[in-house]
Homo-oligomer: A and B are copies of this chain.
Amino acid sequence: MTKQRRAVGATLDELDDFVSTQELYRKLHERGESVSLATTYRILQSMADDGLVDVLRNGEGEAVYRRCAVEHHHHHLLCRKCGRAVEIEAPAVEQWAARMAREYGYTDVAHTVEIYGLCPECTAAKD
């Protein structure tokens, strides 16, 4: 438990949305914290490995991270402009995914379900 890890944790706590490593690095420096870029990468990866943060990929294929409020499996409704995220659940989708996998003989399955759009604010700001 080092100063850098605490800084990353605290900064993540203040964010509601998914951020890339680069973005988090910038935010750390805005807060006056001193963490190198390489360390930011390392910390986020280790947190993801330990299941302390959610990881997914944005439209550009970059890994984006977020400390999630809820513990169990869920999906996201993401704003493609500002990154705002809403956590959503979809029991029916889970079941559908499991059924499809079984039907085609796939094992060891996981799935990604993300919805991208413009959040209400960005929709309004578009004009």
Contacts and interface: CB of A to CB of B under 8 A. Distances in A.
A122 to B, nearest CB: 9
Contact of A108 (B92, B100, B101, B117): B117
A112 B113 contact: yes
Given A61-B61, A111-B115, A120 B105 contact: yes
Nearest to A101: B117
A11 B113 CA distance: 30
Interface in A68-127: 77, 79, 86, 88, 90, 92-93, 96-97, 100-101, 104-120, 123
Contact of A119 (B79, B105, B114): B105
A118 B108 contact: yes
Contacts of A100: 77, 88, 90, 115
A74 to B, nearest CB: 12
A63 interface: yes
B107 A123 contact: yes
A29 interface: no
Interface of A: 57, 60-63, 77, 79, 86, 88, 90, 92-93, 96-97, 100-101, 104-120, 123
